[in-house]
Structure 1
């Protein structure tokens, strides 16, 4: 019993409990007195000293002491659990507040700004390394992708392509709430191809002449300034062996399949021109070059940050998160996430990748699937 009293004393010390300490102290003194009386009784032969009685009495005392220790340990663990639960609640509240601040910041960055900063061509060197201007260049890249996709869909319709079959070949088994939402799957395809290997300085093309790591950031900044105010088609005609030209050549040949080009234009003349080291004329390639320009500029800019900007996308079936994702379709057919169960909204596919600049998340754009959605066109 003295052991259990000592355990109670330890428990009362953290957190400090003066009443508990005094109670434990009295209990320890009481137990010590009992031990002293037991010793005196044994010496004076005042109780039954038979082995059976002594063993049983000792076992009873030991079990009582163990029960007391277990009870004290249980109380101590309950106290520690309550402390951890309180800490967890505080951390959850702090996380929610940080998430709200992050969402507000990203929305503010995505808002159209007035004045010369709204034009990416007007950026000064000291303006470049801010989140706002990265988002601005990203916005121009996304706009150019959508312009190219719009032209591509027009060509597909003119060539009597089956739009539904083409969309299903990219992302099968997706139900769209509106027929014209199929444009998002083509945006997803183009974005995926254009941003593939974005995190590597050479886009994993292995045919670029890049400097070593010490000079890379300065080199990429020079390329950014070289191209940002230039018409990309004129630049390609003037610099057909430049790093940007190599990027355009590789991306065009990968993005525009020979079957697609043949259906659009009746032959593969544009592909042959690109393979020969030159670049074709025409609106379709001009839109491609404009898109390639903004992806290239964003690439140069992202690798010039310290640390470099990271890119991410989410896979199909991922649970929708407002922190990392933005619904590309803002409509009533998709209820607000707060009004649904945690797993009610899930991702069908990523349309535009997201980015992380320092600790700031620039949301990726996703097309969502609603688990209860049972109408619409395939």
Structure 2
């Protein structure tokens, strides 16, 4: 019994071509004996057989190149499908995120279904790659995959655009809310400032008699005057910043060669300028006002105390409207024209209307001038109260470079003492850079002036602070 032979393995295409070529070569050699001298001579039959072998080899080579091209095209189609599915997964995830905030049940469900479908598609692509199951028409498959990927990318960007639009709307609503809160805070601050600056805050002096005056009453009015000045300084700084002023240059022009411990301390220089202008000629009964006669010396105290009581219970704007030619009205005109430079007024308000109104004897109705008038009222009241004392209160300020003294000075920058103690590299001491608020003397009572201190090495012999009458 003959044994069963196993099936022969089908040779590859290259092996088949080599086998055919070998058979043809054997045929050419069968029945032909070699002859000496004619070994290198080829008959027509030999040439024909060699041509057949070349044709078989060319056919095999072209078959291999075509097969390799189809395989590469199929792999490109598979990769295109893979990337298209990944883009779809990304679009589905973006849609899922967008539908969650705010929550949309239908959008979440649709995104979830799309996401599951694309994950299944990725699994099928993996199986196709493992089993070598490629598309019969890779060109069409590539175009479809590119179209699908483009659609997914457009969908993703559309979702991102909607998300950004919602975020912009949210930010806009937050901005509106914060603006409302800011306006509310500004109104509250203005209301508090008005309550602090209004005449009713001096109600404790309503029943005051000239015989009962003491330095405590003067200190009360002085504190409110300083508070009103600082409120006006903040207003000036805000207006200067809004008008694009260089605050640093303005501060350097007021007080030169001063090193400030903090950036916020530069406002003290502007406060010093305002106090210097407003308290100028404070020691004179008529404040050096032009064409203003002096009261009778015998009735000087009574006249100034009467002016104090007349103005302390009324708003400055109302008083100016009732008595536009009073000494206080002249005081407001002179001080405004000296304090507010024309360039400043023009840059802040765009014109010189307020200055022009004052020059014609009228008073502006702007909130800026109202704030100035309230501050001027406080200075005027302090001046009236100073001349109601016997002897009258005197004003003083400290020269630049004076050694700090607890008797005559109060520092507005206490940090200078801490830095002096911690800095052990050089021997230094605090000295006056400039006077912020002047000091006063009522008899033997000294009301300290407020100064800004700087640090310097001692170069001269120590001396007591010298005072000069303003």
TM-score bracket for this pair, using the shorter chain length? 0.5 to 0.7
Q: What TM-score, normalized to structure 1?
A: 0.64
Check whether the contact 2:412–2:452 (CA below 8 A) recurs between aligned residues: yes
Aligned partner of residue 328 in structure 2, secondary structure: helix
Structure 2 CA distance, aligned partners of 1:122 and 1:324? 28
Residue from 434, 456, 466 that aligns with 1:371: 456
Question: Using a 3 Å threshold, how does the CA distance of structure 1 residues 126 and 318 change in structure 2: closer, same or farther?
Answer: same
Deviation at 1:125, TM superposition (A): 2.1
Larger Rg: 2
Are positions 1:237 and 2:325 aligned together? no
Deviation at 1:216, TM superposition (A): 1.6
Aligned partner of residue 186 in structure 1, secondary structure: helix
Are positions 1:357 and 2:442 aligned together? yes
Aligned to 1:56: none
Check whether the contact 2:272–2:435 (CA below 8 A) recurs between aligned residues: yes
What CA deviation, in whole Å up to 9, does each residue of 1:297-341 have, x standing for no partner?
A: 00000011000101000011011101000001233664589x999
Aligned length: 254
Larger relative CO (CA 8 A, sep 6+): 1 or 2? 1
Question: Using a 3 Å threshold, how does the CA distance of structure 1 residues 261 and 222 change in structure 2: closer, same or farther?
Answer: same
What CA deviation, in whole Å up to 9, does each residue of 1:137-187 have, x standing for no partner?
A: 000110010011000000100010000000000001111111111100000
Are positions 1:298 and 2:382 aligned together? yes
Aligned to 1:155: 239
Aligned to 2:217: 133
Q: Which runs of 4+ in 1 moved over 4 A?
A: 332-337, 339-343
Which segments of 5 or more consecutive residues in structure 2 lack a partner in the other structure? 1-199, 458-470
Residue from 342, 345, 366 that aligns with 1:282: 366
Deviation at 1:214, TM superposition (A): 1.1
Check whether the contact 2:416–2:454 (CA below 8 A) recurs between aligned residues: no
What CA deviation, in whole Å up to 9, does each residue of 1:215-270 have, x standing for no partner?
A: 22111111100000100011111110011001111100111110110011000000
1:304-343 matches, cutoff 5 A: 304-331=388-415, 334=418
Aligned to 2:260: 176
Root mean square deviation, CA, Å? 2.1
Question: Using a 3 Å threshold, how does the CA distance of structure 1 residues 319 and 343 change in structure 2: closer, same or farther?
Answer: farther
Which segments of 5 or more consecutive residues in structure 1 lack a partner in the other structure? 1-117, 373-378
Structure 2 CA distance, aligned partners of 1:220 and 1:153? 33
